[in-house]
Structure 1
Amino acid sequence: MAENYTDPSGNTAQFRAFVDSPDPAAAAAEKAPSRLPLFAGIGAAVVVIALVAWLALA
C-alpha cells in the first residue's frame, strides 16, 4: 500500500462524489422497457382465441 494513501471516506467531497456517481447496472435497468404490456397482450390473445374456439365447438 502506498504511504500517502488517503481514505476517500475521510474527505467529504470525495465521499459525496462517490455516492452521487451513477451505477451503470442500475442505469441500464432503468432504461429497459417494461415487458408487462407484452405479457398482458399475449395473455389476452390466448384468452380470446380460447373463447372463439370454445364458441365454435359449442
Structure 2
Amino acid sequence: MADYQNPPVEDPSASTQMFRAFVDEPQPKPATAVSEGSRTGMITIGVIIALVVVAAVVYLAVK
C-alpha cells in the first residue's frame, strides 16, 4: 500500500542541473535553409501562376 501522507523528498538541485543541461545544449541548425533569393523567386512564380489561372477563368467565363 502506498503512503500518500509523506511525499518523497525531491532533490531541488536535480531539476536545476537538468535545466542547465538543456539550456547549454547546442541548437541544431536547420537541415534545409532556404535563401532569400530562392524564396522570392518561388513567390514570384506562384503569383504568375495565380494570375494565369485567374485570366483563364475570366476568359472562359466571358467566352
Greater RCO (CA < 8 Å, at least 6 residues apart):
1
TM-score normalized by the length of structure 1: 0.44
**Higher radius of gyration, 1 or 2:** 2
Which is helix-richer, 1 or 2? 1
TM-score, normalising length: structure 2: 0.40
